[in-house]
């Protein structure tokens, strides 16, 4: 969403600036050129006649209002979700800030989990609060594989100087077939 | 002559100097270019549109009275009010338009402006000024950081203003790197050298850690 906001913000600025310039041009034109028929750049007298024929309870007005509300809600959602999902690490000094991305943590956890001979494949999702691992194991894998994997991930998280240690959730799916 | 052999004295001597909260804030700001202004302005515009849309929809469905809902959009009462004071409303429209245009253009300019890369000016004497370019300082830090064990690649650049520069360092670590050791050596060796070389008492630093992509193994030996 951060990339969307980077594009959206200048576009919104351009829309506002254009709106302001058009208002100034049309008002000044209507003031100094009263004999001018219609608007200079925008046919606002025509729009005025259309609006004069519309009522607040018209379907068109309702639909437009709902559309405007939805666009507003989307803008709010885009802006609120455009935060950086960084993970903070403990820095050697206070004038230093150390961050990494959840993707890096997921890759480290994935490498550690896949290092087990009993694991065929694994997918990992990581955030500041939670690390979730879904591992595919051979059907002859030991019963305590899940606990072993949890311990391995916990060990990795202890090695990393994370400011906040995420919770670990591991699920193991057994795969049919010979190894 | 007396010598203080107490352990408390040693601890006091070893304790790091407290860091100014402003320097701490600058190190947090240096992590990435801030999108805070864009975010809050977008939220503001979104909220205005949302409230306007909801308000008009409620008015349209007769929540504020069936009489109001059946009035025309360009209400004759409002038109009469505007027609009674044309000079006032024209002035209001022009001032509003100018403010909107200035605000919009300022927002666009701030949004698309490249992030500043300040040079550092060193005092070389009475009539000498030494200017260290942002690129040169960044390259020096990056090349030194790349020599640390566990660091595959490094990139550094100065950010912030010329009066209050900060350093943004990105390190690409090997899979088996000891993160704590890398950070400690970066702080003690690389950044200490950078501060001394640039003659900066305070140089807030933001470090971004990435993992180096593993080299693909050749399919044919």
**Is B73 close to A13, i.e. CB distance below 8 A?**
no
A-chain residues within 8 Å CB-CB of B67? none
DSSP string, B180-194: HHHHHHIIIIIIHHH
Q: What is the DSSP string of A57-115?
A: TSHHHHHHHHHHHHHHHHHHHHHHT----PEEE--SSTTEEEEE-HHHHHHHHHHHHHT
Structure tokens at A118: 């009993």
Structure tokens at B83: 């027609």
| Structure confidence by residue, pLDDT tens digits, A87-131 | 999 988 888 999 999 999 999 899 888 888 888 888 999 988 999
| B207: nearest CA partner in chain A | A98
Per-residue confidence (pLDDT) for residue B4, from 0 to 100: 41
Q: Where are the alpha helices (DSSP H) in B85-200?
A: 86-112, 134-145, 179-185, 192-198
B-interface mutation test, from A56, A59, A61, A111, most B Cβ less than 10 A away: A56
- CB–CB of A109/A134 below 8 Å? no
Percent of chain B whose predicted confidence (pLDDT) is above 90: 40
Our CA-based measurement puts residue A71 at a distance from the nearest CA of chain B, in whole angstroms, of 7
Give ipTM to 2 decimals.
Answer: 0.75
Residue in chain B lying closest to A32 (CA): B90
Distance from CA of A143 to the nearest CA of B (A): 29
Q: Measure the CA–CA gap between B117 and B101, rounded to whole angstroms.
A: 29
B-chain residues within 8 Å CB-CB of A160? 179
Contact B42 A14 (CB under 8 A): no
Q: Report d(CA B219, CA A54) in Å as an integer.
A: 71
- The predicted pLDDT at position B48 comes to 96
Number of H helices, E strands in chain A: 5, 5
- Distance CA(B145)–CA(B152), nearest Å, equals 9
Contact flag A76-B50 (C-beta cutoff 8 Å): yes
- Do A9 and B42 make contact, defined as CB atoms within 8 angstroms? yes
pLDDT single digits (tens) B16-45: 567 778 888 888 888 888 888 899 999 999
The verdict on A19 touching B (C-beta cutoff 8 Å) is: yes
What is the residue-level pLDDT of chain A in tens, covering all 179 positions? 788 999 999 999 999 999 999 999 999 988 888 777 777 888 888 888 888 889 998 999 999 999 999 999 999 999 999 888 889 999 888 889 999 999 999 998 998 888 888 888 889 999 889 999 998 887 776 778 888 899 999 999 988 889 998 999 998 887 766 65
What Å distances lie between residue B119 and B26, B82, B158, B194, B221, CA to CA? Answer: 17, 56, 8, 14, 49
Sites in chain B below the pLDDT cut of 70: 1-17, 124, 215-221
């Amino acid at each position: 969403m951060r990339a969307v906001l980077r594009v959206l913000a200048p576009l919104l600025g351009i829309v506002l600036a254009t709106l302001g310039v058009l208002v100034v041009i049309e008002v000044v034109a209507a003031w100094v050129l009263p004999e001018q028929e219609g608007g200079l750049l925008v046919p606002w007298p025509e729009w005025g006649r259309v609006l004069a024929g519309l009522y607040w309870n018209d379907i068109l007005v309702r639909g437009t209002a709902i559309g405007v509300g939805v666009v507003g809600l989307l803008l709010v959602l885009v802006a609120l979700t455009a935060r950086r999902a960084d993970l903070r690490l403990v820095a050697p000094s206070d004038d230093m800030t150390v961050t990494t991305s959840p993707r890096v943590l997921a890759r480290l956890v994935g490498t550690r989990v896949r290092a087990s001979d009993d694991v065929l494949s694994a997918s990992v999702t990581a955030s500041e609060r939670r690390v979730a691992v879904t591992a595919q194991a051979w059907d002859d894998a030991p019963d305590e594989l899940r606990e072993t994997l949890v311990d391995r991930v916990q060990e990795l998280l202890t090695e990393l100087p994370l400011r906040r240690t995420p919770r670990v959730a591991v699920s193991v799916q057994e795969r049919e077939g010979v190894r | 002559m007396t010598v203080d052999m107490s352990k408390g004295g040693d601890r006091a001597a070893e304790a790091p100097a407290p860091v100014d909260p402003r320097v701490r804030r600058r190190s947090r700001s240096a992590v990435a270019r801030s999108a805070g202004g864009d975010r809050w302005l977008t939220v503001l515009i979104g909220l205005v549109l949302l409230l306007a849309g909801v308000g008009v929809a409620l008015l349209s469905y007769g929540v504020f009275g069936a009489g109001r809902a059946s009035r025309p959009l360009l209400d004759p009462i409002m038109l009469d009010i505007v027609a009674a004071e044309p000079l006032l409303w024209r002035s209001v429209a022009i001032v509003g338009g100018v403010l909107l245009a200035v605000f919009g253009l300022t927002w666009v300019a701030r949004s698309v402006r490249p992030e500043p890369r300040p040079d550092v000016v060193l005092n070389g004497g009475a009539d000498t000024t030494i200017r260290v370019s942002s690129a040169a300082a960044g390259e020096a830090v990056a090349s030194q950081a790349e020599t640390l064990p566990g660091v595959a690649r490094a990139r550094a650049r100065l950010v912030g203003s010329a009066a209050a520069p900060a350093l943004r360092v990105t390190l690409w670590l090997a899979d088996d790197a000891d993160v704590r050791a890398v950070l400690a050596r970066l702080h003690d060796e690389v950044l200490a050298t950078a501060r001394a070389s640039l003659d900066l008492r305070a140089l807030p630093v933001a470090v971004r850690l990435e993992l180096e992509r593993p080299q693909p193994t050749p399919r044919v030996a």
